[in-house]
A = this chain, B = another copy of it.
Amino acid sequence: MESSNTLIAVDIGIDTHQEPVVYMRSDCHICRSEGFTANSRVLVDDGNSQIIATINVVDEKVLKSGSAGLSKIAMQRLDIAAGAPISVSHAPVVTSLTAVRKKIFGHKLSDEEISEIVEDISAHQYSDIEIASFLSVCAGSRLDVDEIIALTQAMVACGKRLSWPDSPMVLDKHCIGGLPGNRTTPLVVAIVSAAGLTIPKTSSRAITSPAGTADTMESLTTVNLNLTEIRRVVAQTLGCLAWGGAVNLSPADDLLIRIERALDLDGEGQLIASVLSKKIAAGSTHTVIDIPVGPTAKVRTEKEAERLASLFTQVGAACGIQVRCLITDGSQPVGRGIGPVEEARDVLAVLQGSSDAPDDLRERALFLAAHLFSLAYQEPFEQGLQRATEILDSSKAWFQFQSILAAQGGQKTLPEARYQHIESANTGGVLTTIDNRQLARLAKLAGAPTSAAAGLRLHKRVGEAVECGEPLFTLYSETKGELDYALAYYAQASIFSIGVAS
């Protein structure tokens, strides 16, 4: 660290999300002599570690002379305390950007080029606009199967990797998403691990949906487990239901997903690499992938689903993991509850065999568990289904689920939302469609998943008769503001279509 380039680090108290920002005075001698301007990319060095950050130039009133402000993520990545000396200099050239430009110009990337790009991204060398550029030119169908394989392997290589020496088979499942309430994972984990198979499941929190499996599970128990804790829970129960974000299985993917979501881009190559890299890193040997298809699901046509299934299987095979894809009905939400707590209620009802347990959620969970059994035991699906049904109906799955909750820190009581509102149909007929995307948005505006108890409960499903004035759903919220905001959205949305009985 050159002393002439040294400034004192100040925690400026600003959260800039994943992109580190360093705040420098316009009259700072380093700013002037290096020719830094707003948005320059710079190397910040505290003598122990280095990060690349973007400069925001600030007025003299904001910072003392001789100091530089760091955003929260910058403080965190450097792992320094306020008052420490830092140096700021021009960011080095990121050589893998040459490969990104090659892709922009339509050329196929080599394994090495993809590997360098992923390494640099996971080392936080890319700015957000550079990640956006890379993702955009890889979306569509612009990555061929070789490139998707290379991307998957590169993502695995730059993260942590779990191994399960005591288990010859390690199972996993994944759903492509887009169906509110499709909370099969806790059920599948309980059923499969009750059968004596290892299924150490790590899940994500919601990104654009009203609840991820980790959010739902967090309303029931502790999900923020480190690797040692996951190993202990799996040693005790063969299963776990942990939050994947805490174990850093695919750090590059976490950075890519953030920009993908902001761009509302779900390129197939990126999607496949993202899902499979996490499975491989988690040590899975056999995985089923649920691909719901429907007009308002993530995958909208059978043809698109088949193409995705074929790519998943090919990439899985190349990476040494058995993948079975299941194309399922994605025409309406699954279960009755939407939002962390409401989905947890449905999961418990199915496990406990309650009379109000949603049939569709039960059937989907049995279907997925049966396929995992079929894959693991190389038995026909029907045999797997019988096995899964027996485990669920005999309450073995429920006892197993309780053991997992106990091992993860005990079962929590589900909270009740402070505000609720019953919305009724303003016409009668048959419920013909439910728009998954708008329904998800409604639950999110009510506060899900940030407020665990926020969300909604459906009282009608597609195909059912609805009388005018009959309840359609109950909305749950923790604040009056959110409840009103969600209802205002509902008033101008068209989530439910009620038609003439046919």
* Interface, chain A (partner B; CB < 8 A): 4, 12-17, 23, 26, 29, 32-35, 37-39, 56-59, 61-62, 71, 97, 101, 104-106, 127-137, 139-142, 259, 262-265, 267, 444-445, 447, 450, 479, 481-482, 485
Contacts and interface: CB of A to CB of B under 8 A. Distances in A.
Nearest to A481: B33
B104 A265 contact: yes
B12 A62 contact: yes
Contacts of A33: 479, 481-482, 485
A481 B3 CA distance: 13
A491 B63 CA distance: 35
Contacts of A142: 106
A96 to B, nearest CB: 13
A133 B263 contact: yes
A435 to B, nearest CB: 15
A4 B484 CA distance: 12
Contact of A136 (B59, B62, B137, B445): B137
A127 B262 contact: yes
A282 to B, nearest CB: 27
A104 B134 CA distance: 11
A17 B39 contact: yes
Copies of this chain present in the complex amount to: 2
A481 B29 contact: yes
11 contacts: A14-B62, A16-B56, A33-B482, A105-B139, A105-B140, A106-B140, A106-B141, A129-B259, A130-B263, A136-B136, A137-B137
A59 B264 CA distance: 29
Contact of A34 (B97, B134, B485): B485
A418 to B, nearest CB: 13
Given A16-B56, A129-B263, A104 B136 contact: yes
A14 B61 CA distance: 10
Nearest to A60: B13
A108 B58 CA distance: 43
Given A13-B61, A59-B13, A4 B130 contact: no
A450 B26 CA distance: 13
A58 B13 CA distance: 5
A87 to B, nearest CB: 13
B62 A38 contact: no
The 4 closest A-B pairs by CB, nearest first: A13-B59, A33-B481, A129-B132, A17-B38
Contact of A15 (B58, B263, B445, B479): B58
Contact of A35 (B134, B141, B445): B445
Given A61-B13, A101-B265, A132 B139 contact: no
A370 to B, nearest CB: 35
Contacts of A481: 4, 29, 32-33
Contacts of A56: 14-17, 71
A482 B15 CA distance: 33
Nearest to A450: B35
A38 to B, nearest CB: 4
Given A33-B485, A264-B101, A58 B447 contact: no
A450 B32 CA distance: 9
A73 to B, nearest CB: 9
A61 B82 CA distance: 15
A23 B263 CA distance: 22
A430 to B, nearest CB: 30
Nearest to A484: B33
A470 B445 CA distance: 73
Contacts of A447: 35
A297 B328 CA distance: 55
A444 B35 contact: yes
Contacts of A14: 23, 56-59, 62
